[in-house]
Amino acid sequence: MPRMTAADAAVAILAREGVTCAFGVPGAAINPLYAALRRAGGIDHVLARHVEGASHMAEGYTRTRAGNIGVCIGTSGPAGTDMVTGLYSASADSIPILCITGQAPVARLHKEEFQAVDISAIAGPVTKMAVTVLEAAQVPGTFQKAFHLMRSGRPGPVLIDLPFDVQMAEIEFDVETYAPLPAYRPAATREQAAKALDMLQAAATPVIVAGGGIINADASALLVELAEILGVPVVPTLMGWGAIPDDHRLMAGMAGLQTAHQYGNATMLASDFVLGIGNRWANRHTGGLDVYRRGRTFVHVDIEPTQIGRVFPPDYGIVSDAGAALELLVELARERRDAGRLRDYAAWVEDCVKRKHTMLRRTHFDDVPIKPQRVYEEMNLAFGRDTRYVSTIGLSQIAGGQFLHVFKPRHWINAGQAGPLGWTLPAALGVCMADPAATVVALSGDYDFQFMLEEMAVGAQFHLPYVHVVVNNSYLGLIRQSQRGFDMDYCVQLSFENINTPGLGGYGVDHVKVAEGLGCKALRVERPADLQPAFDQAKKLMAEFRVPVLVEVLLERVTNISMGTELDNVVEFEELATLDEHAPTAIALLD
């Protein structure tokens, strides 16, 4: 039997499981694993500037392509605690990433050794498994179990903590006969799918709510096919955005309190039946449950049994992988169509289409300082259908959800539930590693950008080109809006006089200089007419220098973006589009 160190065995298993890239920061307690990576070759490594950044890079990498599992690596102590935010974000959105940390030798774990912390206990609540391996011979089985767990059922992250002496110990391990364990995914039965279709066909105005589980299952084509066979509108959630193209006639718009369309909310409220597939009934989607549920029958399909009934009891629940359920639903729908047994929903679909024509939000404004709506309009014009957008939280992300256009799955890459500030930049770098040929556009407010802006240096060093649009009002608008109910405006001031940069007075940080100092290219835009030339120039700089390009847009200070407390109580701060030129890119999508 071949003998090798446990660290060498771990690296060999990573390769066998399909890992080709890792993100991390070396350090004393994890150096044996890094030495094994060097000896083995074949796994690229991207050096992060912050270990939390490495975890978000791994997330972006996983989220970009079906089957990817991002790997992040750090040393003992604070490296692991820094990565907890990434583990939380991945867990919340059902994203598999593998976090590997170094640890003090086993005999010293209880002696308060330097940088020794019980990271498995800390990470346990936000992972599918978090374990400190105490016996070297258990390393292969632990890694095999980790990949099995990450891929089985509801996907999610795993943390493996490796004491220094465990990594160094020699074990017997035959990598040539190693095989990944088959993943387990529950599947709906034909009877369950038939009952769900029966309930849908009994409704007069049904909709399908498409969640992120459809994206995870790589089942977007099946969703579109099912919607087309049934002639039923689709309401994607934020995590399911892109599962049906924005210009598809049956794309009814997103519903919710923030990242939603007015016509999407109206269609949701007009429906009498909801088939939710791979979704969580997240509170920013539903708002108050009394309004959301009133007058509607619900069927919920989800891969995780305990998700059924977690937020509210559906009228019928099915535990199933979204792809497996959709395969059956499509098969049954075809049979009923061919037998002439499908209800005609043409009039209902026409009502939904009319709402899209009459309830578009306005995007075209010529104001100076620039209104954010105009920024997203110009982004739609500048970047094509294949663009992968990356964003996390804030008014910038909310407005992006309302005004950008997405046409493919995994082309809106978003930290949906956790929404950690700083996530966007490192996640975009992970997307670039996963799809080097893609046009990647990150979207941040100034505060999100400032949280982890040091990671721009990673993009410069490793030639990971993307465009980072920073909409800057130095105002912290979302935080301020949350404080309005407390009648205060406290500790949320980002702006200050920057005496070194003419024209930037009161906007504070000179992001252009910071980006350039980190080895990247940068542009600043102050007028609407300059947005398109700036985006064009950014694409040229990105192609020429193969580095990230910052486009900072100076916005109006007080930015109010439509949001509310209920689906029927969303505050609109601007008039709706009454002429085609008020929302040109949205109008262009309509039939």
Q: Where do the structural domains in the chain lie, given as residue ranges? A: 3-177, 190-358, 372-561
d(CA 265, CA 276): 15
Q: Where are the beta strands (DSSP E) in 79-153?
A: 97-103, 129-132
Architecture in CATH of 3-177: 3-Layer(aba) Sandwich (3.40)
Find tokens 């993100």 and name the residue.
23
Long-range contacts of 30-35 (CB under 8 A, 24+ apart): 30/73, 30/74, 30/75, 30/76, 30/79, 30/100, 30/101, 30/102, 30/162, 30/167, 31/102, 32/5, 32/7, 32/164, 32/167, 32/168, 33/7, 33/73, 33/100, 33/102, 33/162, 33/167, 34/73, 35/7
User: Is there a common fold for 3-177 and 372-561?
Assistant: yes
The per-residue pLDDT for 579 is 85
Query: Which burial class, exposed, middle or buried, applies to 443 when counting CB atoms under 10 A from its CB (0-12, 13-18, 19+)?
Result: buried
- List the structure tokens of 246: 């924005």
Residue ranges for the chain with pLDDT beneath 70: 474-484, 487-491, 495-507, 591
Catalytic residue ranges:
25, 51, 421, 476, 479
d(CA 292, CA 312): 11
Q: 3-state DSSP call for residue 174? A: coil
Task: Kindly give, in sequence order, each residue whose CB lies less than 8 Å from that of residue 517, ignoring residues fewer than 6 positions away.
Answer: none
CATH number 1.20.81.30 given to 372-561: no
- List the structure tokens of 50: 């912050």
User: Could you tell me if 62 and 97 are in contact, meaning their C-beta atoms sit under 8 angstroms apart?
Assistant: yes
Q: Give the rounded distance of the alpha carbon of 215 from its chain centre.
A: 11
DSSP 8-state secondary structure symbol assigned to residue 311: S
Taking alpha carbons only, the member of 279, 211, 206, 208 closest to residue 241 is 211
Q: Under CATH, to which class is 190-358 assigned?
A: alpha beta
Query: Which burial class, exposed, middle or buried, applies to 191 when counting CB atoms under 10 A from its CB (0-12, 13-18, 19+)?
Result: exposed
Q: What are phi and psi of 513, to 5 degrees?
A: -65, -40
Q: What are phi and psi of 86, to 5 degrees?
A: -65, -40
d(CA 288, CA 227): 27
d(CA 546, CA 552): 19
pTM of the predicted model over 0.75:
yes
The per-residue pLDDT for 446 is 87
